[in-house]
Homo-oligomer: A and B are copies of this chain.
Amino acid sequence: MATETRLGGDLPVVDAETAAAGIGTEDTLLTSGFGRAGYPKALPLALAASDREFSLTVVSGGSVGDEIDTTLVEAGAVARRYPYQATASARDAVNDGSVAFHDRHISRLGDEVALGYLGGRNRENTEDGVGSGNGDGTRGETVAVVEAVAVGAGWLVPTTSVGHTPSYVQAADRIVVELNRTQPVELEALHDVYNRALPPNRGTIPLSTPGGRIGSPRVPFDPDKLEAVVETDRPDSPYEFRTPTAVDDGIAENLAGFLAGELDRNPVFADAVNLQFGVGSLGNALMSSFADVAFGDRDVAYFGEVIQDGLLDMLDDGVLDSASAASLALSAEGQERLFGDIERYAEQVVVRNADVSNSPALIDRFGVLAVNSALEVDVYGNANSTHLSGTHVANGIGGSGDFSRHSALGVLALGSTARDGAISRVVPMVPHVDHTEHDLDVVVTEQGVADLRGLAPRERARELVEQCAHPDYRGPLEAYLDRANEGGGHIPHDLEEAAAWYTR
Whether A499 contacts B490 by the Cβ 8 Å rule is no
**Contacts of A269-286 to chain B: CB distance below 8 A:** 271-272, 274
Q: How far is the CB of A363 from chain B (nearest CB, A)?
A: 9
Residue interface bits A347-365, CB-to-B below 8 A is 1, else 0: 0000000000000110011
Residue of B nearest to A122 (CB): B265
Q: How far is the CB of A195 from chain B (nearest CB, A)?
A: 15
Residue interface bits A383-421, CB-to-B below 8 A is 1, else 0: 000010111110001000100011010000000000000
Whether A495 contacts B102 by the Cβ 8 Å rule is no
Stretch at the interface among A31-39, A197-205, A250-258: A197-205
Residue of B nearest to A498 (CB): B499
Task: Give the distance in Å from the alpha carbon of A208 to the alpha carbon of B197 in the complex.
Answer: 14
A438 touching B397 in the complex, CB below 8 Å, given contacts A391-B489, A406-B360, A456-B100:
yes
Identify A433's interface contact among B130, B382, B401, B453, CB under 8 A: B382
Whether A199 contacts B459 by the Cβ 8 Å rule is no
| Contacting residues, chain B, for A103 (C-beta < 8 A) | 438
| Contacting residues, chain B, for A111 (C-beta < 8 A) | 408
A140 close to chain B: CB less than 8 A: no
A436 close to chain B: CB less than 8 A: yes
A175 close to chain B: CB less than 8 A: no
Further contacts, 13 of them, CB under 8 A, given A122-B453, A495-B498 = A80-B456, A100-B455, A100-B456, A100-B458, A117-B454, A124-B451, A204-B204, A360-B360, A360-B405, A390-B495, A429-B431, A431-B495, A434-B438
A181 close to chain B: CB less than 8 A: no
A487 touching B456 in the complex, CB below 8 Å, given contacts A267-B115, A397-B438, A438-B397:
no
| Contacting residues, chain B, for A502 (C-beta < 8 A) | 495
Whether A455 contacts B115 by the Cβ 8 Å rule is no
Identify A491's interface contact among B208, B432, B493, CB under 8 A: B432
Stretch at the interface among A90-98, A148-156, A186-194: A90-98
Task: Give the distance in Å from the alpha carbon of A266 to the alpha carbon of B487 in the complex.
Answer: 47
Task: Give the distance in Å from the alpha carbon of A457 to the alpha carbon of B396 in the complex.
Answer: 13
Task: Give the distance in Å from the alpha carbon of A458 to the alpha carbon of B459 in the complex.
Answer: 36
| Contacting residues, chain B, for A76 (C-beta < 8 A) | none
Whether A503 contacts B493 by the Cβ 8 Å rule is no
The 3 closest A-B pairs by CB, nearest first: A199-B367, A391-B489, A361-B361
Task: Give the distance in Å from the alpha carbon of A495 to the alpha carbon of B199 in the complex.
Answer: 40
